[in-house]
Amino acid sequence: MSRFSSLLTNIASIGVIIAAWFVVTHNGWAPRVFVPSPDAVYQKLVDGFTEGLLVEQTTNTVASMFVGWFACSILGVILGSIIGIFPWIRQSVSPVLEIFRPMPPAAVIPVAIAILGLTREMSIAVIIFGAIWPALLATVHGFLSIEPRLVEVGQALRLSPLQFIWKIALPNATPDIIAGMRLSMVISLVLAVITDMITGQIGLGSLVVLASRMFDMAGLFGGLVILSLIGFVSNSALQYAERRLLAYRRTA
């Protein structure tokens, strides 16, 4: 299937969902007090962006998400490269990683609040802690999957560890790293919303909580629509970057 056909399929799928939503709500098959109509949600979004409040809420959540994701991706790739290239470091830090990796990020929020307070920096710190693992572990896996002959080439050329990482290991591990970064992106969005909900900071998380408490279902669904669009756009951007990078590797 071509990219254009895939795009048309995605658009058609979204159109079918919206049409079904419209039919269900306008025929009274679902109570509007719980399920607002698409036009009511659309009008709520238009009003919110026109007044500027939704712009601020969306900007704050997206900023926390991307700053946290970018930081955890850089840290994850750097630490994963070091762990993957040096067996003695990998053996030394494995017990520590196995202790912290299963820890739910939400459990760290009270500690982060105690240290950093109810600040945007606290949200970013929680995002980094929770979203770093896919990028880090994917980098380690990519380094461990290097073909032995490439390792022998590096040894024959007498490459330093840094040269080996840059010229051989990272290009070889690129598919794994990008896959880990995509998963980290999803986790970053989830944690950005959760920290907004818990701390009450201006963001989409607090918008959703406030709308549910006020029984403003149009506002609640509007927040969910924005979050879905953020996730879709960010994932599509990474998929595009992945295709370009892998195409460059094939032609290089």
- Span 215-235, average pLDDT: 89
pLDDT-derived band at 40 (thresholds 50, 70, 90) equals: confident
Measured CA to CA, the distance from residue 4 to residue 10 in angstroms comes to 10
Token pair 């959540």: residue? 61
Of the candidate ranges 134-138, 172-176, 206-210, the one whose mean pLDDT is the lowest: 172-176
Contacts of 135 (CB under 8 A, 6+ apart): 72, 73, 75, 76, 77, 80, 177, 180, 181, 184
172, 150 Cβ separation under 8 angstroms = yes
Answer yes or no: is pLDDT of 3 > 80. Answer: no
- Span 69-79, average pLDDT: 93
H or E segment to which residue 53 belongs: helix 53-85
- Residue 241: predicted pLDDT: 81
The token pair at 108 is 């760290």
Token pair 């818990």: residue? 198
Average pLDDT, the chain: 84
pLDDT-derived band at 4 (thresholds 50, 70, 90) equals: low
Q: Choose among 166, 161, 97, 87: nearest CA to 132.
A: 97
- Residue 146: predicted pLDDT: 80
Amino acid, res. 206: S
Taking CA atoms, 182 is separated from 20, 135, 188, in Å, by 30, 8, 10
- Span 67-81, average pLDDT: 93
- The segment with the largest mean pLDDT, out of 92-96, 169-173, 180-184, 201-205, is 180-184
The token pair at 142 is 């990519």
- Span 200-225, average pLDDT: 87
Answer yes or no: is pLDDT of 222 > 60. Answer: yes
Amino acid, res. 162: L
What string of H, E and C letters represents the secondary structure of 88-131? HHHHHHHHHHHHHCCCCHHHHHHHHHHHHCCCHHHHHHHHHHHH
- Residue 250: predicted pLDDT: 53
pTM, two decimal places: 0.86
Answer yes or no: is pLDDT of 184 > 90. Answer: yes
pLDDT-derived band at 190 (thresholds 50, 70, 90) equals: very high
- The residue with greater pLDDT, 145 or 123, is 123
- Residue 129: predicted pLDDT: 92
Q: Choose among 157, 162, 9: nearest CA to 85.
A: 162
- Span 2-30, average pLDDT: 77
Determine the Cα angle at 202 with ends 21 and 35, to 5°: 15
Answer yes or no: is pLDDT of 53 > 70. Answer: yes
Token pair 């679902």: residue? 30
Taking CA atoms, 98 is separated from 25, 43, 93, 101, in Å, by 48, 48, 9, 5
- The residue with greater pLDDT, 32 or 248, is 32
End-to-end CA distance of the chain: 25
- Residue 185: predicted pLDDT: 93
